[in-house]
Each structure stands twice: as structure tokens, then as C-alpha cells.
Structure 1
């Protein structure tokens, strides 16, 4: 793709081409809606219903016109209509994986919706959830968003590089949709068609409050933190990125 990946455009500040690539608000809105439409197609419109399992900024490619294209289906799984969830080994990328899948291997299309929520938050903030430097008690970008939501100051998370050149209504919708998609309870996450409708302003975004404490010292997440540390240690010895193991695809 002519403009590499969304992660490259958002996070790589040392590349001359990236610095020349201006992701203004209109472009970010278009990219976010484009990703949502792509996932909605996979989940609701395609003949074969697909769970991607690795939705993240590096797997969103940008063409010459900065249209978003979902890539890398190496971990994808078919989601049969007759099943409530898919039985498979856990695979994906730390920082984008839904908690019910990372901890208990419970995989449904709601896992991709969670991952999309993280990506949407990265788009509006210009920060990476996986390389976010903790501030105070916030352990990740998503945690920061939940804290700002409780304080009533969501707009503080908007990328400062945008200055005042952004649509405040669209930005607020995108943040609220991201938080709705990353709700700790998968049953409270919206469908992707509903996400598209909300992002485009056709329907009102529901206000659902999640407890940010579940991302801190909750013992339910201790196995995930331990697993992340173990895999980071393995990656250092093998010179590979800290992804969870695939299941043989």
C-alpha cells in the first residue's frame, strides 16, 4: 500500500515520509469509519462470517487516497452461525485483545469489536495503546480514557497535534464509541453496523460506564500480566515481537 500502515502514519515520527503525511481530522474520521465498515462486512455481510483476531493499527493499511484496508488474516477464524463462540487457542497482540478472550479463550466477534475500540482511541489520540507511558495510576491509553470519562474531560485525550483543527462533535463521538466497544462486558459492546451508524452521526452513542479499576490490580487480570511478562522475556531472547502464539495457521 502506498502509505504503509495506520500505525506507521500515526506513530512513526522519525520517518521523513511520515512527517510529510498529515493525518488531519477529516482523514482520521474517514479511516476510522472505513475500518468499522470493513469489520462490519466481515461480521455481518460476508457469506463467510470471520473473526479476524488481530485488529490493530499495524494491520490497517492505507492506500494512495488514505482509504483503510484491513490486512493480515493469518489468525482469522470462521464464525459459524450455529455456535455461540469459537473454541481455539488464544492468539493475537497484547493491548488489543478483549479480556474474555485473553483470559478464558472465549472468542466471539465481540473480540474484534473490542480491538476496534482500541484502534479508534489510538486514531483520535495519536498515541499507541501498547507503547503508552503510564501516567499516575493509568496503566495504558485505554485506562486513561476511562479515567477522563469519569472526570468529564474526555476531550483532553484528543491528539494535541490537531490543535483546534478538528470536529469536536465527531471527536467526542469517536471517543465514546471507542469506550463503548471496549466495555469489559462483551454483551454490552455494540454491533459493528451500530458502530458505523454512531460514527456517522446517524444514531446517538449510548453512555455506558466501565470500571477502569479492572485494568489495574484486579486479580482477574494477573494471569494476563504474567503471560505478557513471560512473552516479553521470550521475545527478547528470540528477537521477535511479544505476540501471543498462533495456533498453527
Structure 2
């Protein structure tokens, strides 16, 4: 199988990081996972999407796991499984979801992870936990910095470098202490040394896709920076990346946030569920970083290393330069985002699409 061959290349794991957290993944039997999940009982289901379903399980030693059961119906689906297992076997970082193991028996393809008790960022912003407001401002800042540091590892520490290609709220999981762990590497791409980008078919979720990737298929680290900018705005505001204006039209979060930020009205951008309990300076910092990340020109976006530095407030000089950027002087909202108004439909591109000139929402499953 393809994934068995790919593991032979796993020597590329960054040795410094490998020393910090040794790989502990293993091959599970289908019988073992059936037992752990009570035969993939519906009551154990944590979520479902275009990729398949995720189930809670408990191993014989009492440890809790999450089992992703993929829908295998083609060589492409099998390859997506192989890619995710390969990437997860390579990467080890406190802000990246760890691989516990996998199972490939017959037509079954299953990936096993540590169970994250607080589920995903999506569940707290827009899902089952959204009304509880467990994400105070301090937790949101920690999630922003933690997820950014996980992406820094992918872009700058892993060998070869890795583009995630699907940074979004549902792929940021939260452990028992609400520490962020970036997950789901099924769309990830390895970047050869010296390459600035790879041209590929488009996969991902509308609202998070960088325009050069959505329209031309050019995937680079900068595309992840764009997606992370959208995620930051979502984290600060509690709004979705695409907001319904009518039954057929949506507006990008950036087209709402940029004019407000340019007027300095940052308090209008914060999630009302925080009830005014936030740090004004940090909110301003998060919003400006988000907007500079999510601008349409990739050459103007910062690297994730710079994003982490800015989020931590480590350089007043660099933040002052950011605050005085031309983007915040004379905004042109209509030209700012690639998809400010798009036809309503499914947000998730579950199948690879040819690069497109006009970004529209394709048919697919939004649940990933």
C-alpha cells in the first residue's frame, strides 16, 4: 500500500523536535478499535464530515482515543489517508495533534489520535459549546499563539517543510487545559527545498482559502498565513468566515472587519459573548495581525515566525510598523478579499478541484 512505502521516508523528522517528543504510534487491529468504540456505536460519534466519521473510544489501559474512520471509495481517498498518516508520523510538537496509530484492514482506513476533551475551536465558537462561553480572552490569546506556533513548526522546523492547506476552526482541537493542537493533515503538502510554492488542485474550505490558491492553485506557506488570519478574526469576533447577508449571498469576515479597524473602532469587532472582558491592546494587535495576514497579496503577508512574534508583543517597533501599514490607511474593501460575496452553498471542497478563476462555493460536505 502507498502509506507503507511512504513511512520509509519518515527519516526526515526534525531531530531536535524528535528528541523532545519521541514517536509512539503503532498499528492497531480492526478488532481492537471495534472494541474501543463499542463497534463504532452512534453514541460514540464525535463528528462527521466529507472525510468520514470520528468516534470516541477507550483502550484496554483506560486511555481515551479519537478514531477517524475514513470513507474509502477511491485511490484518492486512500492517498489522503496515506498522506495524513505520513505527516503525523513525521511531526511532533506540543501544538500539533499526535498520531497514536492507524489501522488498514480490508477496505477500512482508520487513524487513531489522542482524545481532545474540549473538542474543537469550532464547537466553542459556533457549535455545541458556543452558548457556554468557556473561551475567555486569555484562553483565546493562548489558542492563537499556540496554534500559530504549531504552524511555525510545519513551515520552518519540519524537514521537508509542510503546508497544511486546511487551517480552520474545526481543525484546531483543544485539550483538557484548552491548549491548541492543530489537526487534520489529509490535505497537507510537503515542500521541496528551494521551492517557493507548489501548483496543485484546490482543496480546502471556502472563507479560508487564499485567492492565489483558490484561483490559480498556487499553494505555499503564505496560503496557510492567509487562513490563519481568517482564523484569528473568527477567534476575536466570534463571527464565521462567511456571514449570510441574505438567502443567496455571503460576506467575507475581512470585508466587515477591515473598514471598522481602519476607523479604530476595535471594540465593535470583539465577540459580544466576552461581555467587554478583554485586553484592548491585545484585541487591537490580534485584529491588525489577522488583517495583514489575510490580505490578497501574498508577498505582503508576514511569515508565521513574524506572526508569533507580533502576537506575543515582543517588538513594539514591528507592531508600530504594522499599525502604520498602507492597508489600514486607505482600504478598498471590494478589492480586499477574493470572495466577499459568493453564492450560498456548501463551504467545504471535499474533492480536489481544478484551479478556478472565479471563486464559487461548490457542492460538497461542509462538515469537515
CA drift at 1:164: 2.1
Local SS of the residue matching 2:143: helix
Q: Quote the offset at 1:138 in angstroms.
A: 8.4
Q: CA offset at residue 47 of structure 1?
A: 2.2
Question: What's 1:155 paired with?
Answer: 267
TM-score (norm 2): 0.58
Instruction: Compute the displacement of 1:241 (Å).
Output: 2.4
Report what 1:94 is aligned to: 206
Distance 2:197 2:228 in 1: 19
- SS of residue matched to 1:92: strand
Q: 1:241 to 1:18 in 2, by over 3 A?
A: closer
Assess if the C-alpha contact under 8 Å between 1:94 and 1:242 holds in 2.
no
Query: Residue 308 of structure 2 corresponds to which residue in structure 1?
Result: 196
2:227 paired with 1:115: yes
Contact 2:225 2:301 in 1 (8 A): yes
Does residue 128 in structure 1 map to residue 240 in structure 2?
A: yes
Structure with more of its chain in strand, by fraction: 2
Checking the alignment, whether the CA contact within 8 Å between 1:133 and 1:140 is kept in structure 2 is no
**Aligned-CA RMSD value:** 2.3
1:156-200 Cα distance to aligned partner (Å, 9 max, x none) = 111111122111111110000000101111011001111011011
Select the structure that is richer in helix.
Answer: 1
Q: Does 1:8 align with 2:147?
A: no
Could you list the per-position Cα deviations for residues 84-117 of structure 1 after superposition, in whole angstroms to 9, with x for gaps in the alignment?
2102111111000000110111111000000000
Secondary structure at the counterpart of residue 358 of structure 2: helix
Tell me, which stretches of 5 or more residues in structure 2 are unaligned? 1-115, 342-355
The separation in 2 between residues aligned to 1:174 and 1:160, in whole angstroms, is: 16
**In structure 2, distance between residues paired with 1:62 and 1:32:** 12
Q: Which has the higher contact order (CA 8 A, sep 6+)?
A: 1
When the two structures are aligned, how many residues end up with a matched partner? 226
**TM-score normalised to structure 1 length:** 0.84
Match of 1:241 in 2: 366
Structure 1 residue runs of 4 or more that deviate by more than 6 Å after TM superposition: none
- 1:64 and 2:185 equivalent? no
Aligned to 1:175: 287
- Where in structure 1 are there 5+ consecutive unaligned residues? 244-249
